[in-house]
Amino acid sequence: MADPKNEDFLDDIADAEAEELAAQLADDLEGADAPGSDAQLEAVMAERDQYKDRFMRSLADAENLRKRADKERRDAERYGGSKLARDMLPVYDNMKRALDAATDEQREASAALIEGVELTLRELQNVFSRHGIEVISPQVGDRFDPQMHQAMFEAPVPGTKAGEIIQVAAEGFLLHDRLLRPAQVGVSSMPAS
């Protein structure tokens, strides 16, 4: 929405210009008792109104163009890095898998290596959060949300309800409010009893 003060200012300018034009025409036509002077005045007033209308439409178009450009600029700032962010997601996944796959014996034998991977993963998460990337981490038992989750498979698992998440294959990611990648999950298809 345009600034009300700015709109009032523009209306005042248009009104002042219209009054000035009308005054000039009245001065020019004053004393002219020629037949049709009223018709000429009306024609000039109609032309003035037409110009005023075109002027106001042009101002509105310029304001709409400015707003659209501002929105596109903000979107470019917020979402411009989405391609790079999508390309970084497999790095996150692989580092997380590497840490999950390490056994206790491997953790003891290669403590420094495991700590380095953990620190690198933590730094990657910090970079993600600085740039508005949030991790979607559904839990087993959560309700399947088609807006945030992608069903990789369905299976009838006893003790679950249809539509519950039974396995999380990969976490999902949001870039501000846009979905970068849905969380990949398995969903229960247990029929209602």
128-187 pLDDT, tens per residue? 999 999 999 999 999 999 999 999 999 998 888 889 999 999 999 999 989 999 999 999
pLDDT tens, residue by residue, 61-80: 999 999 999 999 998 888 88
0.95 cut: is pTM over it? no
Run of H or E including 162: none
Task: Count structural domains, the chain.
Answer: 3
**Same domain membership, residue 184 and residue 144:** yes
Question: Is residue 88 pLDDT above 80, yes or no?
Answer: yes
- Domain match, 140 and 154 both: yes
Do 125 and 109 sit in the same domain of this protein?
yes
Asked if 85 and 75 sit in the same domain, the reply is: no
Last residue of a domain, one of 79, 111, 145: 79
Write 3-11 long-range contacts (CB < 8 A, 24+).
10/56, 10/59
27 and 85 part of one domain? no
Residue 123 sits in the same domain as residue 146: no
Q: For residue 20, what are the domain limits?
A: 4-79
Verify that 141 and 114 share a domain, yes or no. no
- Whether residue 116 contacts residue 149, with contact meaning beta carbons closer than 8 Å, is answered with no
149 shares a domain with 115: no
